């Protein structure tokens, strides 16, 4: 693991090595109403995160159709002292509205409206970081810049970033900005990535392959842009789920290897899986999506495991998850 600090730590924004993703609050896709039970679920997850040393929380305005932010905001209203202890990040630009096609919208007016709505739901006057949620083919960097300038000047957003963008798209937006983009959030985890495919970082899924353009990883590192990893726990593929029916042979073998490493190191499978990702010298910041307090606690040892992981450990897990040796 690189001995350097995360880019967000270097910028004085946060030293939280893990982020709690809030997509599943209020039922996620079910978009449950904010009830006392949903508030209790949120409180338990937040408290478990804080106990594990996690002080950064990731939202998006589309999570549970806004209800994820709303229930988190209710926790903040009941515990106002919490706001200054945490870093709040949210995303906008992905529009899912009844009667309209799904779309991306990085227009100035949409960004401004979306941030105001997120702030109202969260019950706060500021976001620490705002990310543009996936690339918009119709984006105009000058409009993005105008929106960011207004939000920064009004004190509504401290810093800005992107999600799922390649190096060229980042450069295209950055050329119009007077402030640096500080985050790029990508789908990264053990078993999904081919780090050695001709310099192109590839996310391998069963249904399709997503290519992160060549140089994205290197560009983010050179520009001090924090790489965040959503899907970092691989939906439990290597921490128990592979033992269930339907897991591939590579997933089962990797799950067994992870379990063996966890037992030998007196830690949890979750810490091994996250430690593998955090071993990379980019100081990747995993976003964990579980609300289960026990599973959140199981992630707490990830930093120590990343520091202890050898090159042999890293490549062993990498090759086992691929199902074959590297070229």
| pLDDT of res. 191 | 84
How many whole angstroms separate alpha carbon 289 and alpha carbon 127?
A: 20
Produce one character per residue of 226-237: b if its CB has 16 or more CB atoms within 10 Å, e if not: bbbbbbbbbebb
How many whole angstroms separate alpha carbon 141 and alpha carbon 26?
A: 34
Sheet of 201-204, strands arranged across: 193-194, 201-204, 209-212
Q: Which residue has the higher pLDDT, 116 or 242?
A: 116
pLDDT band for position 244 (cuts 50, 70, 90): low
Say whether pLDDT at 161 is over 90: yes
Say whether pLDDT at 193 is over 50: yes
How many whole angstroms separate alpha carbon 111 and alpha carbon 116?
A: 9
How many whole angstroms separate alpha carbon 120 and alpha carbon 78?
A: 15
pLDDT tens figures, 90-139 = 999 999 888 889 999 999 999 999 999 999 999 999 999 999 999 999 99
Residue 65 within a domain: yes
Q: Percent of the chain scored above 70 by pLDDT? A: 92
Residue 23 within a domain: yes
| pLDDT of res. 245 | 58
Say whether pLDDT at 272 is over 60: yes
Q: Phi-psi bin for 218: left (phi > 0), alpha (psi -120 to 50), beta?
A: alpha
pTM comes to 0.94
Q: How far is CA 8 from CA 14, 226, 311, in A?
A: 6, 6, 25
CA 29 to chain centre: 18
- Domain coverage including residue 269: 7-322
Q: How far is CA 59 from CA 7, 69, 244, in A?
A: 20, 7, 30
How many whole angstroms separate alpha carbon 106 and alpha carbon 88?
A: 20
Residue 1 within a domain: no
Q: How far is CA 157 from CA 52, 57, 110, 115, 277, in A?
A: 26, 15, 15, 8, 29
For strands 19-21 and 56-58, give the pairing: parallel
pLDDT, mean of residues 191-198: 70
Tell me the CATH number at 117. Answer: 3.20.20.100
Q: ∠ at Cα 38 (35, 43), nearest 5°?
A: 125
Q: What share of the chain is helix, strand, coil (3-state, %, to 5)?
A: 45, 15, 40
| pLDDT of res. 1 | 38
How many whole angstroms separate alpha carbon 166 and alpha carbon 19?
A: 22
pLDDT, mean of residues 179-187: 96
Number of domains in the chain: 1
Residue 285 within a domain: yes
User: Which run of H or of E encompasses 122?
Assistant: helix 108-122
| pLDDT of res. 202 | 63
Residue 327 within a domain: no
pLDDT, mean of residues 202-218: 64
pLDDT, mean of residues 156-163: 98
Residue 265 within a domain: yes
pLDDT tens figures, 55-89 = 999 999 999 999 999 999 999 999 999 999 999 99
Q: Which of 3-12, 64-73, 226-235 has the lowest mean pLDDT?
A: 3-12
Residue 191 within a domain: yes
Give me the DSSP letters along 271-324.
HHHHHHHHTSTT--EEEE----HHHHHHTTTHHHHHHH--HHHHHHHHHHHHTS
| pLDDT of res. 214 | 72
pLDDT, mean of residues 177-195: 91
Nearest Cα residue to 231 out of 190, 272, 202, 197: 190
Say whether pLDDT at 207 is over 50: no
Q: Which of 30-44, 94-108, 172-186 has the lowest mean pLDDT?
A: 94-108
If one counts every other C-beta atom within 10 angstroms of the C-beta of residue 189, the result is 23
Residue 310 within a domain: yes
Give me the DSSP letters along 95-114.
E--TTS--EE---HHHHHHH
Residues 6 or more apart in contact with residue 115 via CB below 8 angstroms:
92, 127, 130, 151, 156, 157
pLDDT band for position 276 (cuts 50, 70, 90): very high
């Amino acid at each position: 693991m690189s001995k350097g600090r995360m880019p967000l730590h270097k910028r004085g924004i946060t030293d939280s090595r893990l982020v709690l993703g809030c997509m599943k609050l209020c039922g996620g896709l079910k978009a449950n109403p904010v009830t006392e039970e949903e508030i209790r679920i949120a409180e338990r997850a937040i408290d478990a995160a804080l106990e594990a040393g996690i002080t950064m929380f990731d939202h998006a305005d589309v999570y549970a159709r806004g209800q994820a932010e709303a229930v988190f905001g209710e926790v903040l209203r009941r515990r106002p002292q919490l706001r200054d202890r945490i870093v709040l990040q949210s995303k906008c630009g992905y529009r899912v509205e009844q009667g309209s096609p799904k779309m991306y919208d990085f227009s100035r007016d949409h960004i401004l409206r979306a941030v105001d709505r997120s702030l109202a739901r969260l019950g706060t006057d500021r976001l620490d970081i705002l990310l543009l949620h996936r690339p918009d083919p119709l984006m105009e960097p000058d409009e993005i810049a105008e929106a960011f300038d207004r939000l920064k000047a009004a004190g509504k957003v401290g810093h800005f970033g992107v999600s799922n963008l390649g190096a060229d798209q980042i450069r295209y937006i950055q050329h119009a900005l007077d402030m640096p983009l500080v985050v790029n959030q990508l789908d990264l985890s053990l078993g999904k990535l081919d780090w050695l495919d001709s310099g192109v970082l590839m996310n391998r899924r069963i249904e399709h392959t997503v290519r992160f353009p060549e140089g994205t990883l290197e560009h983010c590192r050179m520009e001090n842009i924090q790489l965040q990893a959503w899907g970092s726990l691989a939906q439990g593929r290597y921490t128990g789920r592979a033992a269930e029916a339907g897991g591939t042979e590579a997933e089962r073998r990797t799950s067994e290897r992870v379990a063996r490493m966890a037992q030998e190191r007196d830690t949890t499978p979750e810490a091994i899986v996250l430690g593998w990702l955090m071993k990379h010298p980019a100081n990747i910041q995993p976003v964990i999506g579980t609300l289960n307090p026990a599973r959140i606690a199981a992630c707490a040892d990830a930093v120590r495991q990343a520091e202890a992981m050898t090159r042999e450990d890293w490549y062993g897990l990498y090759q086992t998850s691929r199902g074959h040796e590297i070229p």
